Amino acid sequence: MKIVLAYSGGLDTSVLLSWIKEKYDAEMIAFCANIGQEEELKGLEQKAKKTGASRIYVVDLQEEFARDFIFPMIQASAVYESQYFLGTSIARPLIAKGMIDIARKEKADALAHGATGKGNDQVRFELTAAALAPELQVVAPWRDGRFREEFPGRAEMIAYCDEKKIPVQASAKKPYSMDRNLQHISFEAGILEDPWMDAFAPKNKDMFKLSVDPEDAPDKSEYVTLEFKKGNCVSVNSRQMNPLGVMRTLNKLGGKHGVGRVDMVENRYVGMKSRGVYETPGGAILHFAHRQMETLTMDREVMHLRDSLIPRYAELVYYGYWFAPERLALQAFVTESQRNVTGTVRVKLYKGNIMVAGRKSPVSLYNPAIATMEADPTKAYNQDDATGFIRLNALRLKVAAQVQRKRK
């Protein structure tokens, strides 16, 4: 049996690689996706092979991540439960897709992951596998009672590595867990499981990696100009960039000014609530500026229809249905809605805030001559017409009021 494992080189995945190999008598192929986590990849190949992998693939997927996953999601204005920019959620389908590509190349029989049985990631990995490679088995050790019994805690994992001479750096458990990629960093578990605990207190400054504390941000604001074409950002501060370049640039600018921090209690797909803290500096700027561009260029009814679908789209991403037919169908509508979302937005960054400082477009639907409170030189709108408009829309309200009055 040949199994492809999502591998990072840390304690958990090192134990998983060795344990799965032993229990399943399998040839192990390690897979690591570079999606902007900027973790130290040096020596990963040697470590994986010493742990028992016959081969390791470290694949740079950053361009694909920005272009084919983050940007389509931004076009949909997707935010889960009005706060979460879906950084981890949107990355999992790409990682699983990368694993599947390697599994086919290696003619593997199964995929394996280290997601726990309590979280969302297990669903995201496995729904992607079901949609793209239903013939592959999935090995999930944390849902295997044998694994949980053998490793009830980190101490047992460290002891296992010592016994097996697995090269990992055994260290005390961090007071929280982290997940980083091009879109964000998430923090959860440990000290963050108390929702009353202030994650943004001065004592926790060292936890954050992508952004400074807004109170420590520059005292001078900074203006940033973003150019959009058909709903995608193609330029920052007059410099043409691909999606990856946009994300990297906005992450630096946003991080400098402490924007994009979120602390929320969210509803996991598996049924429980969890507390998460997020840094999404670039994604927050892009989401905000994109909406400003839409206000100028998108038809009202198209915008309202698209907006009504935001919760559904965000759920599909959060739950792991990226490759499901309903998400693809929604994306087709989103793409159509973005046809005229073209122009330039200027934002001001200041101590954790993102403020609009101007927008313009060659296809703007805003006509100051029509909207003006002064005399309309175009005569496109006759204020007298509003009388009949209001009367017709008020008819049902009047009828209902009369009926209710008779019943009293």
Catalytic residues: 12, 92, 121, 177
Backbone angles phi and psi of 268, in degrees to 5: -70, 155
Count CA atoms within 13 Å of residue 370 on its CB side: 6
Q: Which of 204, 207, 158 shows the shortest CA–CA distance to 180?
A: 207
Beta bridge partners of 33: 59
- Measured at the CA of 264, the angle between CA 226 and CA 280, to 5 degrees, comes to 25
Q: What is the DSSP string of 66-119?
A: IIIIIHHHHHTT--BTTTB--HHHHHHHHHHHHHHHHHHHHT-SEEE----TTS
Closest CA to 20 of 41, 46, 48: 48
Contact 8, 152 (CB under 8 A): no
Q: Which residues of 284-322 are buried (b: 16+ CB within 10 A; e: fewer)?
A: bbbbbbbbbbbebbbeeebbeebeebbeebbbbbbbbbb
Strands 27-34 and 53-60: parallel
Query: Coil, helix or strand for 402?
Result: helix
59 Cβ partners below 8 Å, 6+ apart? 31, 32, 33, 34, 98, 102
Coil, helix or strand at residue 360: strand
| DSSP class per residue in 45-68 | HHHHHHHTEEEEEEEE-HHHHIII
Question: Letter for the amino acid at 166?
Answer: I
Q: CA 13, CA 36: separation in Å to the nearest integer?
A: 19
Within 8 A by CB and 6+ apart from 2, the residues are 26, 27, 29, 106, 107, 108, 109, 110
Q: What residues contact residue 24 under an 8 Å CB cut-off, 6+ apart?
A: 1, 3, 139
Between the CA of residue 24 and those of 3, 7, 19, 31, 133, what are the distances in Å? Answer: 9, 17, 8, 18, 21
Alpha-carbon gap, residue 9 to 379, rounded angstroms = 69
